[in-house]
Structure 1
C-alpha cells in the first residue's frame, strides 16, 4: 500500500510517502514558512523525488490535532481536496499519538506535548505493549509548570516528546527525560504508517469531507467573540 502522510499541527510541516512501513521519502520544513504557502509545493517535490505519481497512491493520512488551529485546517483541507480529486480514501490520525509513534521504546510512558497557549499544554500518554502503541489516558490540557512534577510522581519513567522545551524542568527529576530532538516533533511518515494501521476500508473510503479537527479547546478568536457577544451563547 502506498500512503501519503502529512502533518501540519505545529510550525513544522512534515510530509512523507510510504510503501507499507517502508519510508520512500520524507520532507520536513521548519523555517517559518506558513503552511498555506509551503504545503502544496512540498507535496509536489516529495512525490517527484520519491518517483511516485499521485494516481498511484492508495491512501492519504493527515494529522487531525490537537495543535495549531490554522495549521490543522490547512492540512486537513488539503488532504480532503487531494482525496476527492484523486478518488482516494482518507484517514485522520491523532497528532499526539503519531508523535509517540516516533519512538518505539517499551517500559516508559511516552508523553507528547504541544503548546495549548497561555502556559498550558496538550498532553498525551502512550506506551508500547506487545508491539502495539496504546493510549494510557485521554488527551488533556495541563499547566506546563505542573507537568514535570506530576510525571515524576508516577510509577513509570516518562519521556517527553513534541514541544517538550515548553515544560519547565527546574529541580531534580529522575523519572522524567526528553526524547532525542530527532524524534520529538510530528512526522509525516508516522502519520502515514499509523493511518494505514487504523484504516478501515468500509468506513474511510468515502470520507472525503466532514472530518473534524481534534481541537480540544476553542480558539482565542471564538472565546473573544463570545465575550463580545454574550447573547449569542
Structure 2
C-alpha cells in the first residue's frame, strides 16, 4: 500500500510517499510561497525517488486546513486532480492533526498552532496514549494571549509547534515578564519538527484509510474554521445572509 501526502496549507510546500512499513521519499520547500508553480514538480520528484508510479498509489492524502486559504486550495486542487485522473480515493487530514503527528511519542501535551492573522492562531491540544494520538479539545481559532492563559491551566508541560509559534511567542514573552516560571511549562519544538510534513499527513491518512474513512475527489472538502478576511469585510458591508456561503 502506498499513500501520497500533500501539504501546502502554509508557507511550506511538501509531498511524501509512505507505505505501512516505511517513508519512501519526502520533499520539503520552505523558502518561497509559490506553491502553484512548484507542487506538481515536487510530487513528480517524490514519486521518482520512491521508485513508484502514480498508478501504484492506493490513496492521495492532503492537508485540508486550517491555514492559508490560497495554500489550502492549491493543495486540494493538486490532490483532487491526481485522484480524479487515477480514480483513487482521497483522505483529507486536518492540518493541526498532521502537525501533532510530527511529535510522535511525545510525553508532554502537544499544541500545534497555525497563524490565523490578527494575533490569532488555529489550534487544538493532543497527547499520545498507548501509541495513539488523542485530540483533547475542538479545533479553534483564538487570540494568542488567550491561548497562553489556557495552556498554563493544563496539568503538565505543553510543546507548541507550527507557523503560529512566532505569534504565540510574542504573547509568551509578555506573560513571561510577569511570570518567569512559565518557560518550564510551555516549550517550543525544535524547528526541524515544527514545520508541516507531508509524511505526517500521509501517516494520519494511512490510519484513516485502513479504517475505511476516506473520500473521493467529489466529496472531500476544505476545513477553514472561519471565513477569509475578504469575505468577512464583504459581509460587514452587504450582510451575512446574502453571501450564499455555508460553513464546512
Q: Secondary structure in 1 aligned to 2:148?
A: helix
Normalized per residue, the structure richer in strand is: 1
Task: Give the CA deviation at 1:141.
Answer: 1.2
Is 1:192 aligned with 2:173?
A: no
Range that drifts further, 145-154 or 74-83: 145-154
User: Size of the alignment, in residue pairs?
Assistant: 232
* Structure 1 runs not aligned, ≥5 long: none
- Contact 2:120–2:167 (CA under 8 A) maintained in structure 1: no
Q: Secondary structure in 1 aligned to 2:60?
A: strand
TM-score by length of 2: 0.89
Alignment RMSD: 1.6
- Contact 1:26–1:189 (CA under 8 A) maintained in structure 2: yes
Q: What's the counterpart of residue 116 of structure 2?
A: 116
Is 1:204 aligned with 2:204?
A: no
Moved over 2 A (4+): 145-150, 200-205, 230-233
Task: Give the CA deviation at 1:203.
Answer: 5.3
Task: Give the CA deviation at 1:41.
Answer: 1.1
Structure 1 segment 126-165 matched on structure 2, within 5 A: 126-163=126-163, 164-165=165-166
Structure 1 segment 80-99 matched on structure 2, within 5 A: 80-99=80-99
Match of 1:222 among 218, 231, 235: 231
Distance in 2, Cα, partners of 1:203 & 1:119? 34
Distance in 2, Cα, partners of 1:36 & 1:8? 9
Distance in 1, Cα, partners of 2:140 & 2:61? 23
